[in-house]
Chains A and B, each alone.
Chain A
Amino acid sequence: EAQVTQNPRYLITVTGKKLTVTCSQNMNHEYMSWYRQDPGLGLRQIYYSMNVEVTDKGDVPEGYKVSRKEKRNFPLILESPSPNQTSLYFCASSFTDSNQPQHFGDGTRLSIL
């Protein structure tokens, strides 16, 4: 089954404790992206990757890191999480053409205390 898998689905942690949210896709997509969803703001892009070893900032990259060492994986790293990063996070993937729809994971709800 074609899917984007995120882990964990839920996480409560404390300020400053490094965490990683994993994302994996099995569709051989070149393009992968991370979004955060906040009420009334829709989804905002954090980082994206056009292919292996190619990443770039989205609209709200502060406080986040990413890496793309393998085509299927695109982890999101919060080196020193803060309460304003409490949010619902989605990973998505697609082929690189802009007319291709993105496939989304089920989301990761992070709470930073």
Chain B
Amino acid sequence: AQSVTQLGSHVSVSEGALVLLRCNYSSSVPPYLFWYVQYPNQGLQLLLKYTSAATLVKGINGFEAEFKKSETSFHLTKPSAHMSDAAEYFCAVAGGTSYGKLTFGQGTILTVHP
């Protein structure tokens, strides 16, 4: 079975500050990992994905994430937050026998203060 834990249901940062959203996963097989973003009243949009190539993955809107197998982590970062980054962020894992299935974390709401 696969699972995802996102540490912190709410994260608040100032505009221009570092954004760090934490994600830890559990998987019995090499995982595929994803970060999605959800803006108000919209569906989920893919930010980035890890599929066993480079461990540092760059995504859209200046976000990146680093896969650390030893720590079973896939934390999302952005050097400088913008007001437009305010949204809910979901980490998800796929792979193995759960063919095509995404297992999501609980989500982290990011608030950006001026």
Contacts and interface: CB of A to CB of B under 8 A. Distances in A.
Nearest to B46: A101
A31 B34 CA distance: 17
A111 interface: no
A84 interface: no
A31 B100 CA distance: 7
A87 B78 CA distance: 31
Contacts, number: 67
B82 interface: no
Contacts of A97: 100
Interface string A61-99: 000000000000000000000000000001010101111
Contacts of A43: 44, 90, 102, 104
Nearest to A58: B101
Contacts of A94: 100
A58 B98 CA distance: 10
Interface string B50-73: 011000000000000000000000
Most chain B C-beta atoms within 10 Å of own C-beta, residue among A31, A33, A99: A99
Interface string B39-51: 0011111100101
A40 B106 contact: yes
Given A42-B106, A107-B43, A99 B49 contact: yes
A41 B49 CA distance: 21
Nearest to A31: B100
Contact of B32 (A33, A42, A50, A99): A99
A35 B104 CA distance: 10
28 contacts: A4-B43, A31-B100, A33-B100, A41-B106, A42-B107, A43-B90, A44-B104, A45-B101, A45-B102, A48-B100, A50-B99, A58-B101, A92-B44, A92-B102, A94-B100, A96-B99, A96-B100, A98-B32, A98-B98, A99-B49, A99-B51, A99-B94, A101-B49, A102-B46, A104-B36, A104-B44, A104-B45, A107-B43
Interface of B: 4, 6, 9, 32, 34, 36, 41-46, 49, 51-52, 90, 94-96, 98-102, 104-107
